[in-house]
Structure 1
């Protein structure tokens, strides 16, 4: 059900390595890869979900909600966007990719994913 939207992101952002939807519990829901599968992407996704969960706990200090983060690991940039409170859209990009385009695409598909999750 989500594969179509993830595929759209992969096809519309040059340099995309993969895009996935994952729960904050670390369980992947769906993933699409630009070329060959990235076995370590699941591990990165789980760590990003842990990191975002820690930021979410900061809300008790009234610093505001964290909706999006990016992290660069070597030659890969991973973008993560919170959707439907309990899930993350994660986009892995190579060093030459347009990060702003990736962020925009995640923002565009996030409402669709949220509607489907409810």
Structure 2
């Protein structure tokens, strides 16, 4: 079920190469990745989960509200991380020449479906 939702997001995003539904503990619940030369998207997701935990702690200390989204841009990829409550997040990886805005929109639009299915 989650894999199909993730696949739809990747395929509807120009330049999309992978998406993962993950807990903040770094354990993937489900994923959909297209092959990408010399990049382990699973490992990327796990490492960004660690970074996301630290960002969430900082936000809590600052009291600026609940984390909703974090975007990381490298020379090759965008990684868009959308929080799904206190336990989970979904991450979408898009090639740097892909449609970052469409990816953000689809994650925001589909977040309630993920949350409902996780309940």
TM-score calculated relative to the size of structure 2? 0.88
Q: How much does 1:47 deviate?
A: 2.1
Query: Which position in structure 1 is the counterpart of 2:69?
Result: 68
Query: Which position in structure 2 is the counterpart of 1:57?
Result: 57
RMSD (CA atoms) = 1.6
CA distance in 1 between counterparts of 2:117 and 2:18 reads: 21
CA distance in 2 between counterparts of 1:60 and 1:70 reads: 20
Secondary structure at 2:101's aligned position in 1? Answer: helix
Query: Which position in structure 1 is the counterpart of 2:17?
Result: 17
Query: Which position in structure 1 is the counterpart of 2:83?
Result: 82
Gaps of 5+ in 2: none
CA distance in 2 between counterparts of 1:78 and 1:106 reads: 12
Q: Is the 8 A contact 2:74 2:96 kept in 1?
A: no
Gaps of 5+ in 1: none
After TM superposition, the structure 1 = structure 2 runs for residues 1-118 of structure 1, keeping only pairs within 5 Å, are 1-33=1-33, 35-36=34-35, 40-58=40-58, 59-118=60-119
Q: Assess, with a 3 A threshold, how the Cα gap between structure 1 residues 16 and 108 changes in structure 2: closer, same or farther.
A: same
CA distance in 2 between counterparts of 1:61 and 1:19 reads: 29
TM-score calculated relative to the size of structure 1? 0.89
The runs of 4+ residues in structure 1 deviating greater than 3 Å are none
